[in-house]
Amino acid sequence: MENKLQYYVRVFKGASFEKFFKVLDNAHTRSGKNKVVLFCDILNCMVRYGCGYNDYVTFEFWNLKHHQRDTYLTRFRSKKLMMFMNDHSYAHIFNNKNEFNEVFKDYIGRECIDLETASEEDVVKFFESRQKIFAKMKDLSCGIGCELLKTEDFADAEAFVKYVKEKGFATIEDVIENHPDVAKLYPHSVNTIRIITMLDALGEPHCLFAVFKMGKDGRIVDNYGLHGPVDMETGEFLFPAHSGDTTAGMHYTKHPNTGVELLGYKVPYVKEAVEMAKRAAKVVPQMRYVGWDVAITPNGPAIIEGNNYCAHDFWQLPGQTPGGIGIIPKIKEVAPEWKF
């Protein structure tokens, strides 16, 4: 594993100075502080806390003191945690949609077809028995490359088979339907809960956090929409939601498209989703730290995917972190052996 200096050298080589100065402008506009002071503070935070320049504005570090900053899982610390907790010879299970669906078939709540191994007859049968089908690429995440396909839009099954092959899809599967109380928030995407699980040294699962994600502005996936933490027992929204662009500093007390009030809104089946994620966390114990995307259907929770690289930002955001304290204290409760 590369050391801290090697990592920083690699990051700086790939850094975009244009983006850096845009971030500096962002920090200046939002904080009102002198750019030179901010520039020096960003560099200080990089060295002292492993903080990327986007982290600096995402977490509004200009408002935090040392004892608060040191509790944040920053970019470098997140990479270090992931490498410590997970045996990456098993990461392919989470990166490959078809492998994931097979290993976690008891948790996904839908039928899937592996286009790399399925016969044309299997694909035709799948097409003919459904009105809508969700298609995914093999190794992409964050909704990239996904398409919601309506069977009525194709002349026949042969046209559908040709389309999915030419597009290079690896998986087609049933479309997950939102629970009515979830669809009320935003009806155009499958809205999910990102649940962060971690196995302790004895292999017992713990849930660190649950964030509810919603689409917006017509998007058919919930990535880059808005999100906010929910109570893991009651499903209640605890704080205003953040935008999918966590560097923007935008907060929402109601959904911008549907107008639904978020604070106090209770998402159904959250407790059951947390328990499901904890059970799933034990299926591949070599991967101790996973972020699960769990849909809430009319019949209960269903796992969409598991992420072996968990986004570290949207579970410790301003306005959602009481006392300005990040997630590291919770992590250390589960994995005190991790050194950051």
> Could you read off the pLDDT of 37-84 as tens digits, one per residue?
999 999 999 999 999 999 999 999 999 999 999 999 999 999 999 999
Which pLDDT belongs to residue 143?
62
Long-range contacts of 312-316 (CB under 8 A, 24+ apart): 312/73, 312/74, 312/75, 312/77, 312/78, 313/55, 313/58, 313/59, 313/246, 314/194, 314/211, 314/227, 314/242, 314/246, 315/194, 315/196, 315/208, 315/209, 315/211, 315/229, 316/59, 316/72, 316/73
102 occurs within a structural domain: no
Average pLDDT rounded to a whole number, residues 268-280: 98
243 occurs within a structural domain: yes
Tell me the pLDDT tens digit for each residue of 141-170. 656 778 889 999 999 999 999 999 999 998
105 occurs within a structural domain: no
50 occurs within a structural domain: yes
Q: Within 13 Å, how many C-alpha atoms sit on residue 155's CB side?
A: 4
103 occurs within a structural domain: no
Cα–Cα dist 201/174, whole Å: 37
* Domain match, 272 and 189 both: yes
* Domain match, 127 and 239 both: no
User: Are 20 and 53 spatial neighbours (Cβ–Cβ below 8 Å)?
Assistant: yes
Give the strands of the sheet with 147-150, arranged side by side.
112-114, 171-174, 132-136, 147-150
Burial level of 279, CB count in 10 A (0-12/13-18/19+)? middle
Average pLDDT rounded to a whole number, residues 235-255: 94
81 occurs within a structural domain: no
Which pLDDT belongs to residue 136?
87
Three-state DSSP class for residue 311:
coil
Confidence check: pLDDT of 17 > 90: no
* Contacts for 78 with CB less than 8 Å, ≥ 6 apart: 310, 312
78 occurs within a structural domain: no
Cα–Cα dist 255/262, whole Å: 7
13, 17, 18, 19 alpha-carbon torsion, rounded to 10°: 80
pLDDT confidence bin for 96, thresholds 50/70/90: confident
User: What does pLDDT average to over the chain?
Assistant: 92
Q: Which domain holds residue 245?
A: 88-97+178-334
- Short-list 238, 232, 239, CA closest to 205: 232
* Domain match, 160 and 36 both: no
pTM of the model as a whole: 0.87
CATH (domain of 166): 3.30.1490.20
Average pLDDT rounded to a whole number, residues 326-337: 97
Higher pLDDT, 10 or 319: 319
Q: What letter does residue 89 receive in the DSSP assignment?
A: G
* Domain match, 142 and 39 both: no
How many structural domains compose the chain? 3
Cα–Cα dist 35/198, whole Å: 39
* Domain match, 330 and 210 both: yes
Domain boundary among 174, 191, 220: 174
Tell me the pLDDT tens digit for each residue of 170-224. 899 998 999 999 999 999 999 999 999 999 999 999 999 999 999 999 887 888 8
Three-state DSSP class for residue 163:
helix
* Domain match, 166 and 226 both: no
* Domain match, 155 and 196 both: no
Cα–Cα dist 85/198, whole Å: 8
- Short-list 208, 230, 179, CA closest to 281: 208
77 occurs within a structural domain: no
Confidence check: pLDDT of 140 > 90: no
Average pLDDT rounded to a whole number, residues 21-39: 96
* Domain match, 195 and 306 both: yes
* Domain match, 234 and 150 both: no
